[in-house]
Amino acid sequence: MANEELEALRVAITETDNDLLATIAKRQKLTHQVAETKIKHHIQVRDQVREEQLLVRLIKQGQEVGLDPHFVTKLFHVIIEDSVLNQQSLLAQRANPEASLPINRVAFLGEKGSYSYLATQKYFARRSGELVEIGCKSFPDIIATVESNEADFAVLPIENTSSGSINEVYDQLQHTRLSIIGELTHEINHALLIHEDVELGKIKTLYAHPQVFAQCSHFLAELGNIEVKPCDSTSAAMLVVNELKSPEVAAIGSEGGGRLYGLKAVKSKLANQKENHSRFIVVARNPIKVPLQVPAKTTMIMSTVQSPGALVDALTVLKDNDIAMTKLESRPINGNPWEEMFYIDVEGNIEDGPMQKAVESLRDMTRYFKILGCYPVEDVAPTRVAVASSLTQ
């Protein structure tokens, strides 16, 4: 009886979901046309004044049909983010027709199910062309695979909200000719993955990447008496658990990745720090041109002369040209204990006037200077509206 009632309602919900998808697809076609018009007439992709008007109107209209303003805001942030990223992607592809390949061969760390694999899937879902995944064992392997033209792109983790910068990747970037052509942020949610239903207390052996163990140390302490087995990658850990098919073993990795190995998540958010994101960069043999209509970031490396204030002087050049720095990372140079290499991310397009001026000054004043790449910003800041005030208007 209850089941019949629920079934009928669910059929009706399915219909509305189908309508939703169809309407969203229609909206996407329209925003694609908007992008074409913007390309033709050199108009900026984002128009936050319009977005704000849109949100305020939608919130009001939503309230009239009983929808929570916070829900409507959140929903349209997701829709607008998708629309902005699609428009940016279209512009970038038009500006770099040679980079649009029928097949994208992408190198990444680990195998199917690793966090780098999931980030690769996410980034290339927005690009045209078929995706061919090339799992690699180490960061130098990944770089070599692209340099030797066995892969077209590589996806590399560069920093993590809990563990910080991934120095190994920064060190690789110092010695390669590859260019950064994109970035993305991906949520890292460590879950306990098992092959069949077991009680937590029955698990005797836990497989994971050593860095994952470090990030989940509080959870491991809670578990108590358990044997911990380090693996080369998260995907390797999943594979072992999939093959052992025992109720006494488990892996730590992403829930989505685990499903690829038939594993079930029994507990998630295992990391000590609850908010856990990684930023990945995408590299290729050739740099790309970022259209000026799209917000861009530029990554550069430089080494300054060993004099007090040399770095400050370099950063002042950026400030004087009104260029915002989003990241500064320093790494020692192998064999040169008196020098440091600085990695700097700034907001700006390398083809922009102030940026070119700044780069010219920096080249003059540093011992070594290189642009690692200029690429579209993937972090679409949501347009905020005063939800409360729109409630009372």
Q: Is 87 annotated as a binding residue?
A: yes
79 is an interface residue for its own copies by CB under 8 A:
yes
- Whole-number Å distance between alpha carbons of 135 and 262: 20
CA 67 to chain centre: 31
Q: Give the tokens for residue 108.
A: 């990444």
Q: Which stretch binds its own copies (CB under 8 A): 1-9, 102-110, 349-357, 358-366?
A: 1-9
- Min dist CB 222 to its own copies, Å, is 8
54 is an interface residue for its own copies by CB under 8 A:
yes
Q: Is 47 annotated as a binding residue?
A: yes
Burial of residue 147, with CB atoms counted within 10 A of its CB: 0-12 exposed, 13-18 middle, 19 or more buried: middle
Q: Is 255 annotated as a binding residue?
A: no
Q: List the one residue from 148, 337, 388, 393 that touches its own copies (CB under 8 A).
A: 388
Q: Which stretch binds its own copies (CB under 8 A): 70-78, 90-98, 287-295, 334-342?
A: 70-78
Q: Is 259 annotated as a binding residue?
A: no
| Stretch 276-305 residues interacting with its own copies (CB under 8 A) | 277
Q: Is 137 annotated as a binding residue?
A: no
Question: Are 342 and 330 within 8 A, CB to CB?
Answer: yes
| Stretch 113-172 residues interacting with its own copies (CB under 8 A) | 117-118, 121-122, 125-126, 161
Find, among 189, 186, 227, 236, the residue nearest to 208 by Cα. Answer: 236
Q: Is 10 annotated as a binding residue?
A: yes
Q: List the one residue from 243, 275, 330, 336 that touches its own copies (CB under 8 A).
A: 275
Which run of H or of E encompasses 158? strand 153-160
- Whole-number Å distance between alpha carbons of 105 and 129: 10
- Whole-number Å distance between alpha carbons of 393 and 389: 6
For residue 359, which phi and psi values (nearest 5 degrees)? -65, -40
Q: Is 141 annotated as a binding residue?
A: no
Q: List the one residue from 103, 132, 305, 381 that touches its own copies (CB under 8 A).
A: 381
Q: Give the tokens for residue 317.
A: 């050049």
68 is an interface residue for its own copies by CB under 8 A:
yes
Which run of H or of E encompasses 354? helix 353-365
Q: List the one residue from 33, 148, 307, 393 that touches its own copies (CB under 8 A).
A: 33
List the x/- string, 184-223, binding to its own copies by CB under 8 A.
-----x----------------------------------
30 is an interface residue for its own copies by CB under 8 A:
yes
For residue 119, which phi and psi values (nearest 5 degrees)? -65, -40
330 is an interface residue for its own copies by CB under 8 A:
no
Q: Give the tokens for residue 356.
A: 């070119």
